[in-house]
Amino acid sequence: MTTCKHGSSVEVCPDCRDEQAEEIERQRDELQAWRWKNERFARTGAAIERAAGELPEGYDLHIEIERGAGTVRLYLADTDSSIDDFGGDDLADYIHNAINVAIADSEKGGAA
């Protein structure tokens, strides 16, 4: 039997076990945060790709970013009008909703 850094000569020192559990929990929390962040990035990237492929002719989608906030603004075809009131939980949702508005507006002939 060996002695741990805490001076314990038991096979599994309770202090060492607690430290290992805390380290595992810390690493798990870091991994979950990294995963959540990357999923958000992927969703936003996919929404931007969708806009590039599906936005109707003449509609412009602008994404305005500042620290801690962002706005999605849809400029309607053949007008000076824009819309920036899109619901959603995150930037990706705002982009998807703006695309949906543009498609619906285009299908009914414009001028939302």
Task: Give CA–CA dist 94/100, Å, rounded.
Answer: 10
pLDDT of residue 1: 54
**Residue 33: domain span:** 14-107
Task: Give CA–CA dist 111/89, Å, rounded.
Answer: 27
Nearest residue to 73 (alpha-carbon basis) of 57, 89, 55: 55
Q: Is residue 34 part of a domain?
A: yes
Percent of the chain exceeding pLDDT 90 equals 55
Q: How many domains in the chain?
A: 1
Q: Is residue 8 part of a domain?
A: no
Model pTM score: 0.71
Nearest residue to 50 (alpha-carbon basis) of 108, 5, 110, 93: 93
**Element containing residue 58 per DSSP (H, E):** none
**Confidence band (pLDDT; 50, 70, 90) for 22?**
confident
